[in-house]
Amino acid sequence: MTQESGKAFELGVYTFGNTPRTADGGSGSTAQAIRDALEAVHLAEEVGLDFFGFGEHHTRSMPISSPTSLVNAAAASTRRIKLGTTVTVLSTDEPVRVFQQLATAAAIAPGRIEVVAGRGSSAITFPIFDFEERDYDVLFSSKLELLLALNRDDRVTWSGAHRRRPLEDVLIVPRPEQPLRIWLGTGGSPESVMRAVELGVPMFLGILGGTPEHWAQYGRAYRAAWTEAGHPADAAAVAVAVHGFVGENDREAKATYLEHELRMFQTGSAEIGRPGRAPAGRGRDMERGGMVFAGGPDEVAERILHLHDLLGHSRQILQMDVGGMPHATFLKSIELLGTRVLPLVRKALEGR
């Protein structure tokens, strides 16, 4: 599988926020987690990474609940790195405000702002924002259509299932000087793949497990359907978000990440009322053939290249700060990803 024509491969990081742990093992300050996330963006830019994303959760352990706010903060304090939401839980958000907030960021950082629109991985946001969980699908579909319309036209006339009143020739400002890049976020359902094709948008795969061979199927299905639909070939794109961590050597990196990731699954599951279990065989997922990209710089680069050979994706981002991982440990991993892994990946791809 070859990468989309003309697209340079991009490497980056994403976070949902990582609340620090106190000396007795409890939760520290959620406000500090927000400040830590912004510090991480600055380092990611400094070491040459291409993208930094802010996900959306509403829990004490992962407290980034307003990713568009952090996109704006990062837009005002960086110069080069691309920024975006990964994801915006659009089912329970307001697409007009999402667009306005990100268009504001795009005015500050032209050409660097993106959004991944997703349905969310849990139902926790529905009671918070007074929506009915039974309306899950119709809310997402309707709101995504409106978000795309807002991005396309200065003045919008639109009606849909989630609004009581239609928009009638309404001017929505500010306008970005070039349209925002809007990705459809999916955990890998075939329906979402086809929806991305139907809407003519790039596909963002959120991956927790499986194998590179398994996920390559989604890339093939997306591109085949894209071609059949007659969309412009250069507009197709696939990005992946994975768990991962870079350490000085393979053994220490895997042990460090496994410890904190298991804690993340246990804590996070309890916070949303689910059984506190990590996916089975998590240690195997961190080895070659799995989809958790933990290891030393050479192994992580090799595994990114292997996935790229199969999937042809144009961007890969890693969630590294999990389970109350010490912030200094997270920052060191960002440094290694930018200074050690990225040069290896770029050199290999340039030589092909």
* Residue 305 in this model has a pLDDT that exceeds 70: yes
Q: What is the pLDDT of residue 3?
A: 52
Q: Which pair of structure tokens corresponds to residue 219? A: 């890339």
Q: What is the pLDDT of residue 298?
A: 98
Q: What is the pLDDT of residue 7?
A: 64
Span 137-166, pLDDT tens digits:
999 999 999 999 999 999 999 999 999 999
Span 218-263, pLDDT tens digits:
999 999 999 999 999 989 999 999 999 999 999 999 999 999 999 9
Span 81-122, pLDDT tens digits:
999 999 999 999 999 999 999 999 999 999 999 999 998 767
DSSP one-letter code for 338: I
Q: Phi/psi of residue 16, each to 5°?
A: -105, 5
| Angle (CA) 198 201 207, round 5° | 105
* Residue 1 in this model has a pLDDT that exceeds 70: no
Pairing label, strands 155-158, 167-171: antiparallel
Whole-angstrom Cα distance, residue 41 to residue 218?
A: 30
Span 173-203, pLDDT tens digits:
999 999 999 999 999 889 999 999 999 999 9
* Residue 352 in this model has a pLDDT that exceeds 90: no
More confident residue, 195 or 3: 195
| 3-state SS assignment for residue 80 | coil
Q: How confident is the model at residue 5 (pLDDT cuts 50, 70, 90)?
A: very low
* Residue 345 in this model has a pLDDT that exceeds 70: yes
Please state, in angstroms and as integers, the Cα–Cα distance from residue 72 to each residue in 108, 144, 227, following that order.
8, 21, 35
Whole-angstrom Cα distance, residue 329 to residue 331?
A: 5
Whole-angstrom Cα distance, residue 70 to residue 54?
A: 7
Q: How confident is the model at residue 270 (pLDDT cuts 50, 70, 90)?
A: confident
| 3-state SS assignment for residue 272 | coil
How many CA atoms lie less than 13 Å away from 185 in the CB half-sphere?
24
Span 41-87, pLDDT tens digits:
999 999 999 999 999 999 999 999 999 999 999 999 999 999 999 99
Q: What is the mean pLDDT of residues 6-19?
A: 91
Q: Which pair of structure tokens corresponds to residue 287? A: 């080895």
- CA 64, 65, 66, 70: dihedral to nearest 10 degrees? 0
Q: Which pair of structure tokens corresponds to residue 313? A: 């994706």
Span 286-301, pLDDT tens digits:
999 999 999 999 999 9
Domains and CATH numbers, the chain: 10-350 (3.20.20.30)
Q: What is the pLDDT of residue 149?
A: 98
Angle of helix 136-152 relative to helix 95-108, nearest 10 degrees, comes to: 40
Question: Among residues 69, 57, 174, 52, which one has the least CA distance to residue 118?
Answer: 57
Cβ neighbours of 217 (radius 10 Å): 15
Whole-angstrom Cα distance, residue 298 to residue 250?
A: 9
Count of residues in the chain:
352
- 16 near 55, Cβ under 8 Å? yes
280 Cβ partners below 8 Å, 6+ apart?
none
Q: What is the pLDDT of residue 123?
A: 86
Q: What is the pLDDT of residue 122?
A: 75
Whole-angstrom Cα distance, residue 3 to residue 310?
A: 9
Whole-angstrom Cα distance, residue 320 to residue 18?
A: 10
- 152 near 179, Cβ under 8 Å? yes
Whole-angstrom Cα distance, residue 302 to residue 154?
A: 45
Q: What is the mean pLDDT of residues 255-276?
A: 88
Please state, in angstroms and as integers, the Cα–Cα distance from residue 287 to each residue in 23, 29, 211, 284, 314, following that order.
32, 34, 10, 5, 23
| 3-state SS assignment for residue 49 | coil
Q: What is the pLDDT of residue 163?
A: 95
* Residue 2 in this model has a pLDDT that exceeds 70: no
Q: How confident is the model at residue 276 (pLDDT cuts 50, 70, 90)?
A: low
Instruction: Identify the bridge partners of residue 11 per DSSP, sorted by sequence position.
Output: 316
Q: In the chain, what percentage of residues exceed pLDDT 90?
A: 89
Angle of helix 190-199 relative to helix 212-229, nearest 10 degrees, comes to: 30
